[in-house]
A and B are shown apart, each in its own frame.
Chain A
Amino acid sequence: MKELFETGVLSTIPQADAILNGLLQMASDGLSIGSSTALLPEANDAAATGATIEDGMSGDTDFPHGKLKTLASAGERSVCPESPNMKITGTPDGVGAYLVDDDTVRVVVQSEGYGPLRIES
C-alpha cells in the first residue's frame, strides 16, 4: 500500500504522509463507527480565511446555531455482530432518524455514490 501511494496520486497531495498513516491505521485496526470526533463541517472555510488546518482535526467550530458532534463518519467500520467490518460509505446526502423501539434511535443515511461513472464505490 505504501509504495502504491508514494508513486501514485497521493504523492502529489499536501500532507500525503498523514493521509498514508491514516490509511495504514485503517488497514491495521480501522476506526469503529462513531469513534471519530473531528468534524467535517467548518463554521468558516479555512481556504478563505487562511486558518491553519491539521489533518484529522476539526476546523473552525464556532457555529452560529450551537454545538455539533459527530455521530458517524464515512470510512468507519462496523464492529456490530450483524454487519462486521461494513464501512460507512460516503458522501452522505440524505439522513433521517426514527425510533426502532423505546430504547433505540436508528439513524438512516444514504451515500451519493456513482458506481462506475466516477470513482467506483
Chain B
Amino acid sequence: MMYYTKCFSLLTCRPIFYEHFYYRFKFPVNDGNATFGGSHIQYVDYNRALMSEYMTHDEPASTMVVGAGNMIETIINLKGEPVGRRNGENATTVGAHFSNTDANGTYAMLKYPAETDWFLQSLCSAHLEQKHQFGDGIGFEDDLFLTNEEWANYALDKEFVGLSAHALDLDTKTLYAVGVFTNGGFEKIVEMNSGHPDYIILGVSGYNGNFDIDDIIPDETLVPQNIIDARNAEYGNRTDGNPYVYPKDIVPFRLYVGIKGKLEDGSDASEDDFLARNGLKYGQLYGFAIDMRNETDVVGPTAGVWRDEFHKSATNGEMIPGKWIPQEWRWDGEGTLRNRTLEQQDWCDRVCIANSNGWIAHMYVTPKFVSSPQLST
C-alpha cells in the first residue's frame, strides 16, 4: 500500500521539511532549452525483494533505495511544441508554457520566477494509470501519470490561458499539456472503465477558475475581472442573457469520454501521437445534471437544494437521479486557448447542473475520488 502525507505543519515534521521550502530548485527540460520551477515530479527506485520484506523490520527505506531522479525530461505545450526559453516579458511565440501566459505566449503570472523560465503551478493529486488496466485493450494505450495544475494568481491587467492537465509518459519522461478538460485547473483526474477498447473515460473533479488573489490587500479578494470583461466583450452574454461572472468552482462533477487515435478535428492520428492514441485529443466533457425545479407542479429530487446543502443531511449511499449532459465547448487545439475558462457557465445555464452552490456562486470543489479496476466491470 502506498501512502503519502500532504503536511504543511511544522510541529511534527523534521527540520528538513522546513528547510526545503527555502531553497530554489530548478530543473532543466528539453535538452536544457528551458528551465522549470514550482512543482516537481520525481522518482525513487527500490529493490523489489527488499521492499517485499520492508514491513517486517525496523530498518529505514534507505537500505533498499537503488535509484532516484527527475521524472520530467521533456515538456510539450498545448500547441504540441517543446517548451523553450521564455522571451523575457515579451511574447514567447514558440514553445510557451501556456499555464503561465496568455494565448500569444506573453507571461501573465502575478510574479516572475527568480531563476527559471516557467513553473508548474501546484500540481495536485495525480493518478498513475497503467496500460489496459481494465482488460484486454481497454484503457489507456500507455503507462502514464496523469496530473493537473490547480490554482493560480495572474496579473490583474493581463489575460491568460488558464491551467491545463498534464499527462506524463512514463517510458519517455515526457510531460504533455492536455487541453481536452478545459483550462480551468483541477483537483484530480482519474481513469474509469469505459468497457470498450476504442474509448477512454475519465472522471474530472475539483477546481475551476480558482484565480483570485487574497494576499495583497488584507481582508479583500481580488478577482481577474479584466478577463471576464474580455470574455463578455468578445463573445457576448451567456445564453440566458446575463453576463459571465467570476467562475471560481462553479462547475459540476464531470466525465470526459475520449476516442483513441483521433486528432482534435476527429481525423485519424498517426500511431506515434502519444496524446491521440490515448484518447486525449478528441473527446467530450459531460456534467452531471439533475432537475433543480421546486415549483408547485414540478419538484426535482432535491427540491431545488444545491449539492453542498443537500449533502449536509443526506444519508450514506443516497441516490439522486440525473443525467450526464454534454458541454458545448470542446477542445480544438490552438483555437480554444482563448476560451478564458468561462465556458462552463453557459453549460450550467442551459441545463440544471449539479453545482455545489448554484450558477453564480461558488462553495466547495468536487472531491477527490478513486476508481477501482477490480470493481469496475
Residue pair B2, A103 in contact (C-beta under 8 Å): no
Residue of B with least CB distance to A23 = B19
Q: Give bound CA distance, A42 to B5, whole Å.
A: 10
Within 8 A of B (CB), among A31-70: 31-42, 46-47, 53, 55-56, 58-59, 66-70
Q: Nearest-CB distance from A67 to chain B (Å)?
A: 6
Interface size on B, residues (CB 8 A): 78
Residue pair A113, B60 in contact (C-beta under 8 Å): no
| A-B residue pair count with CB separations less than 8 angstroms | 265
In this assembly, does A6 line the interface, its C-beta being within 8 Å of a C-beta of chain B? no
Within 8 A of A (CB), among B50-87: 51, 54-55, 58, 60-71
Q: Give bound CA distance, A113 to B147, whole Å.
A: 13
State which of B111-119, B231-239, B284-292, B348-356 sits at the interface with chain A. B111-119
In this assembly, does A83 line the interface, its C-beta being within 8 Å of a C-beta of chain B? yes
**Residues of A close to B63: CB separation below 8 A:** 34
Residue pair B60, A56 in contact (C-beta under 8 Å): no
State which of B36-44, B257-265, B295-303, B309-317 sits at the interface with chain A. B36-44
Q: Give bound CA distance, A50 to B170, whole Å.
A: 44
Residue pair B39, A22 in contact (C-beta under 8 Å): no
Name the contact of B70 in the complex, choosing from A31, A42, A86, A117 (C-beta under 8 A): A86
Residue of A with least CB distance to B6 = A93
Residue pair B145, A108 in contact (C-beta under 8 Å): yes
**Residues of A close to B138: CB separation below 8 A:** none
Residue pair A34, B119 in contact (C-beta under 8 Å): no
Within 8 A of A (CB), among B1-55: 1-8, 10-25, 37-49, 51, 54-55
| Chain B interfacial positions (CB closer than 8 Å to A) | 1-8, 10-25, 37-49, 51, 54-55, 58, 60-71, 109-114, 116, 119-128, 130, 143, 145, 147, 150, 152-153, 170
